[in-house]
Chains A and B, each alone.
Chain A
Amino acid sequence: MVTSARRAVLSLLLAAAVALGGARAEERFITVASTTSTQDSGLFEYLLPIFTKKTGIAVHVVAVGTGQAIKIGQQGDADVLFVHDRAGEEKFVAEGYGVKREPLMYNDFILVGPEADPAHVRGDKDAVDSLRKIAAGQAAFVSRGDDSGTNRMELRLWKQAGIDVKAASGGWYKSLGQGMGPTLNTAAAMDAYTLADRATWNKFANKQHLALLVEGDRRLFNQYGVILVNPARFPHVKAADGQAFIDWLISPEGQAAIAGYRINGEPAFFPDHDQPGA
């Protein structure tokens, strides 16, 4: 090989190595395990820069299903847990994985479905009743089926309606094992009903013929909690910075920031740290 060509190749490779090397300066950060629906709502893109600007602490969010987020917390792979499954959260603390559960905010779920609404649930005030109608008419319904907070709420409602969805699974009821976004994609493609959180729905860009049909039933309220992963159990947890994050979120400033987040002009989350029974 001609020497000059060889030199050119080597310089090219060296330059590439330098460009890609990109050593990262040591960054001060915490790891937060949260859910895909929270991320898909866009809340973090809005909220976190405010916190980082104030404290200089970056927040790395790992967004997965609620079940997986809690598991990440149990493994000690995150500093803070930020999910919406009260039962799961309380168990997390009770079993010693978390320090204390702080109620944070709520958003609500809605029932969406085909514009044509074959089960006639539009405008219902009783969500459980709506589900009964959907089951009776065997209208197509898709479920996240991923053990997420959304999924757990959905299954609680079916239970209250007295419907055994396991038996119906594969027929009019389809369990997908996916996040909120993909589930909405499937519902849109199949013209099916599904339970969604309002924030993800508002931001969702592929609605096709789906429409918001049922809202407002108190049973559809989705409570968020935030928990510091227990440093006594996992010594490497960034307890000080993690607590700083939680303290900010529940402070008047943090709660106002949450309330300030809008999707298409509508508030998406309702801060309720100081409300009793949250």
Chain B
Amino acid sequence: MQTILAAFDSALQLILRLDPGLIEIVLLSLRVSLLAVALAGVIGLPLGAAVALARFPGRRFTAILLNSLMGLPPVVVGLVVYLLLSRSGPLGVLGLLFTPTAMILAQVVIVTPIVASLTRQVIEDLWAEYREQLLSLGCGPLRAIPALLWDGRFSLVTALLAGFGRASAEVGAIMIVGGNIDHVTRMMTTAIALETSKGDLALALGLGIILIVLSLGVNGAAYLIRDLTGGRR
């Protein structure tokens, strides 16, 4: 109980002081995770829609595969991305290891299956509902993708938020490919892991509280945007 109270106090102190170290870590975490989700969206939304609508052999298997990839252990992703980006690896010349870019890459790999899979389900359900009317109007499945994506936007925003949740909570992959370098690749979650390993549990928990508040902020902003864009049913 002591530790928990100390944690709230710790969190409050950091926020009130506008601790520069904290701000640096928060901005980096937001930058990496939001960019990762944006990229995952750019890849995953059309991918999910295509799998939902296109007829091709092995379509069922692709859907199952996408679903399974949602359960990819992040630390395994981190390991694979590390081996790819390592100087001794195929993409070593890019010199991306231990940079925020490497972390964004790893998170994109982790988040895209989530976005694609949820999009596939949303688009599939929408197409079932709209199919006959759209076909009647002369709109085939592939041509319908933009309209379906827009129509499913509320569910799809939730899918993106689920992706963001996964990205911002992730610690294993970014630890391996980012290296948790002070002032360079230290994010909220790896900072929490570090403080925990130093035994400073109150600070670690305090950072955790701030992380949750950040997540609330992002979700709140998403709902604000939704309401501004005519959010009624």
Contact = CB atoms under 8 A, between A and B. Distances in A.
Given A181-B196, A181-B198, A77 B98 contact: yes
By Cβ-Cβ distance, the 10 closest A-B pairs, closest first, are A181-B197, A62-B179, A206-B199, A76-B87, A205-B199, A204-B199, A20-B31, A75-B88, A60-B181, A75-B86
Interface string A161-197: 0000000000000000001111011000000000000
B206 to A, nearest CB: 13
11 contacts: A1-B229, A5-B229, A9-B225, A20-B34, A20-B35, A39-B194, A60-B179, A62-B179, A75-B87, A179-B197, A184-B199
A147 interface: no
B161 to A, nearest CB: 15
Interface string B202-233: 00000000000000000000000100111000
Contacts, number: 86
A51 interface: no
Interface string B11-44: 0000000000000000100110011000000000
B151 interface: no
B131 to A, nearest CB: 26
Chief secondary structure at chain B's binding surface:
loop
B98 A62 contact: yes
B139 interface: no
B97 interface: yes
B87 A236 contact: yes
A54 to B, nearest CB: 18
Nearest to B225: A9
Contacts of B182: 44-45, 60-61
Interface size class of B (residues with CB under 8 A): 20 to 34
Interface residues of A, number: 40
B9 interface: no
Interface in A40-57: 40, 44-45
A262 B81 CA distance: 38
Contacts of B181: 60-62
A207 B201 CA distance: 11
A151 interface: no
B86 A185 contact: no
B184 interface: yes
B125 interface: no
B146 interface: no
B107 interface: no
B125 to A, nearest CB: 24
A208 to B, nearest CB: 10
Contact of A9 (B88, B179, B229): B229
Contacts of A179: 197
A185 B199 contact: yes
Nearest to B28: A22
B73 interface: no
Contacts of B88: 74-77
Interface in B74-133: 86-89, 92, 95, 97-98
Contact of A205 (B97, B179, B200): B200
Interface centre among A62, A182, A204 (most CB of B within 10 A): A62
B189 interface: no
A37 to B, nearest CB: 10
B184 A9 contact: no
Given A62-B98, A62-B179, A77-B97, A40 B31 contact: no
B168 interface: no
Nearest to A182: B197
Contacts of A2: 230
A21 B87 CA distance: 26
